[in-house]
Amino acid sequence: MKAKKFTLKFLSVIAIIALAMSALLGSLGMANNVSAAEKSYFKAGDATSKTDLVTPIVKHGEDDVLKIVTKNKNDTAYYQTKVAANDLGLSFYMAEEVDNVVITLTTAPYYVNYEEETVSTAFTLKKEGGNLTVVAGSGETASSKLTGSAYNKDTAINLLFKVENNKLGVSFDGTNYAYTASEEAGAYVENFDKTMADLSFGINYTDSFDSAATPDTTTGLELVYIDNAASETSHGHRQTFALEGEATSPKAALAVIDLDDTFVKQSDDGALKFIDGVPYTLTYNIYSALPSATTVRKSETILKSDTASFYDTNTSTRKAMFYGNDPLKIVNKEDEGTVYAEYKVDLQTARDYEQNEAKAPVYLAAYKAAEKTEENETVAYKLFKTALKNAIKDVKVGSDKTIEIPSLENLVSSDVTAYDKMDYTVHYIRKDSSTSFSTNSSLKVPVTEAGEYYFYVTFEDEFDNAMNEDMFHKKDSEGKVTDEYDLTADYMFSFTIGGEAEISVKGKNNTETAAEDWSKGVTRTAKEFEIEKSSGDSETYELFYKSGDEWVKIEKYESGKVKNYYTDMYKSSAVKYTDDDIASINYNGERKFTPNKTGMYKIVCTVSEKNSSQVASGETFINVKDVTVVVPATPTWVEENLASFIFLVIGGLALIGLIVVACIKPKDEELPKNKKNAR
């Protein structure tokens, strides 16, 4: 009996301890409010190495906020799902120990021929003179910077983002926006429906910040919400981090819908433009508001419009025909009151486009000004030419060889038909081979023979309205279009393809470890390169000096330049060469120079094939020392100095002949016999 009572008492104690532990753990969990379902909304680190970042939900006044503290000083925190950057709202508190925050939105590029797959726009938020300021890009101009209200650690900072002229902008009040002033291709973002972007916060702390600080001892940023449709008054797409009741995870906001851009253009007011009686295939992507959240799937959505007929039950694409201007909605299939996206419809009449040349596709301006120079080329035009150059690189002639024409999407416009839906014809000719252009519809140019090729592309919309070709023909003195082609027209492109001969370049001392030793201040000529090329192929040389990890080009010296010509050229260089420096180096533009500094030099030889864009290059390295370097005789001296050697041998033989002649004693002269007798 005693044993039984002891057992009951023991079990009771265990139960009490278990309940206490459970309560303690529960209270600890509620104290930090760490989401049980999602312990990490962010990753932290750099572009190449990221790890999960625990972001507890805590209180800041009355707000439930997501606390973001990076483990290492000046790390970046990356949100783990995409946001809609062209109508984005962010709200957060910034701690006093934070010096500035760099908010970066990484999106798809606007220009299809841009060399990178993404573009990143950075916005720097900081405290200046007690006020908040935000700078777009590097803050090149006054329009790239905004000043907001006074900084207060207990006042949430609200920022709004939108896209204007394909550039991302930021605002404090939704009225004044700051945009980067950069005109580089990487400053422009894709913007058809939603500009979906990766969001990151680069948290830069003050100098007094302890790099060993932890989320328990540091505040950093406290995120109140991310709003993927900030202009909506309903705020249905606003993701907060409020915890309802006993929940340990916030409720996911409405998912974001991003329409595909291949089926229709948008009108100026954002309405989708459709033509009555024309079937459209509608496709879209869907993005959750929270990372890893259980969100709506595409199969659970449906398209709705009271003035459209829908057919094809495939959930990834829906075909529709519109006959009115009622809005197009994407809703929940089970609850049509849940609207994920809604679009205005601008219905056009088909007869306005049928056989209407005025509605035919047109090319956009290739230049920003009347003067047709490379400096005035539009970004899209310049990128296309670069892409074309890359497309012909390493292509040789052959019966099955073709040049793939890069996309012209950013260069052509249609009132009614998206680029991918237009028909096109490629017109091409090899110069001097024919007087008429051949055509095909494959966006390729066959290159069966070496030579110079010309081509242009014409487009046709879905109503068979063809692009006017007058721009590709010359005009007579009266301004009338002739049959003669204008090979200098803006959208008449050319390229040159070489034959089968290969070109190659190799330096004798082609690695830094195998560099040739030279002496400072001694004029030398680098060893010749091993070059394989055809007659007429050009070769150029460039001289570089290594400063740290950077190679600084040394200009060829030309006397007679204005004072400080070279000094000004190198003002922002890693090495500040002056006019006197360049004169003392006296680089001849090929392989000869006089080094004025110790260190590593290299000469780069580049060979360009005359009948194509193909190039080949090689390097030779030179290690310049302060001590005198004994130049060893090269085993190929005779080969490299054949003419001199021949003359030396001839001169040596002649000298030997003279010496031999001088050393031979002449014979005594014999007198006639009668003269001997006379003596």
Instruction: Work out the pLDDT band at 640, boundaries 50, 70, 90.
Output: low
DSSP one-letter string for 79-146? ESS-EETTEEEEEEEE-TTEEEEEEEEEE-BSSTT-SSS-EEEEEEEEEETTEEEEEETT--SGGGEE
**CA-to-CA distance for 648 and 170, rounded, in angstroms?**
78
Two tokens at 86? 């062209």
Instruction: Work out the pLDDT band at 51, boundaries 50, 70, 90.
Output: confident
Identify which of 284, 235, 297, 295 has the alpha carbon closest to the alpha carbon of residue 257: 284
The reported pLDDT for the residue numbered 305 is 93
Identify which of 89, 57, 35 has the alpha carbon closest to the alpha carbon of residue 222: 57
Instruction: Work out the pLDDT band at 533, boundaries 50, 70, 90.
Output: confident
H-helix or E-strand spanning residue 643:
helix 642-663
Of 143-152, 213-222, 538-547, 625-634, minimum mean pLDDT range: 625-634
H-helix or E-strand spanning residue 454:
strand 451-460
The reported pLDDT for the residue numbered 212 is 53
pLDDT of residue 40 exceeding 90, the answer is no
Structural domains of the chain ordered from first start: 42-251 (2.60.120), 257-348 (2.60.40), 359-497 (no CATH), 504-625 (2.60.40)
Angle at 579 between CA 573 and CA 580, to 5 degrees: 115
Per residue, what are the HEC states of 230-283? CCCCCCCCEEECCCCCCCCCCCCCCCEEEECCCCCCECCCCCEEEECCCEEEEE
Which distant-in-sequence residues (6+ apart) come within 8 Å of 216 by Cβ? none
Angle at 278 between CA 277 and CA 280, to 5 degrees: 135
DSSP one-letter string for 177-232? -EE----SGGG-B--SS--EEEEEEEEEE-TT--TT--TTT---EEEEEEETTTT-
Two tokens at 479? 């301004």
The reported pLDDT for the residue numbered 261 is 75
Backbone angles phi and psi of 311, in degrees to 5: -150, 165
The reported pLDDT for the residue numbered 638 is 60
- In whole angstroms, how far apart are CA 537 and each of 450, 498, 610? 14, 11, 5
What percentage of the chain's residues is helix, strand, coil (to nearest 5)?
A: 15, 35, 45
Of 137-141, 220-224, 339-343, 438-442, minimum mean pLDDT range: 137-141
Q: Specify the pTM.
A: 0.71
Of 15-24, 111-120, 514-523, minimum mean pLDDT range: 15-24
Identify which of 176, 226, 173, 172 has the alpha carbon closest to the alpha carbon of residue 198: 226
Q: What is the mean pLDDT of residues 203-222?
A: 71
Two tokens at 656? 């030997």
Backbone angles phi and psi of 520, in degrees to 5: -60, 135
pLDDT in tens, 391-410: 987 777 766 788 999 999 99
What does the DSSP 8-state code read for residue 375? G
pLDDT in tens, 73-107: 667 999 999 999 999 999 999 998 888 999 999 99
Is 320:310 a contact under the CB 8 Å cutoff?
yes
Of 121-135, 164-178, 206-220, 245-259, minimum mean pLDDT range: 206-220
Is 437:427 a contact under the CB 8 Å cutoff?
yes
The reported pLDDT for the residue numbered 380 is 96
pLDDT in tens, 437-447: 999 999 999 98
Most confident of 90-94, 191-195, 277-281: 90-94
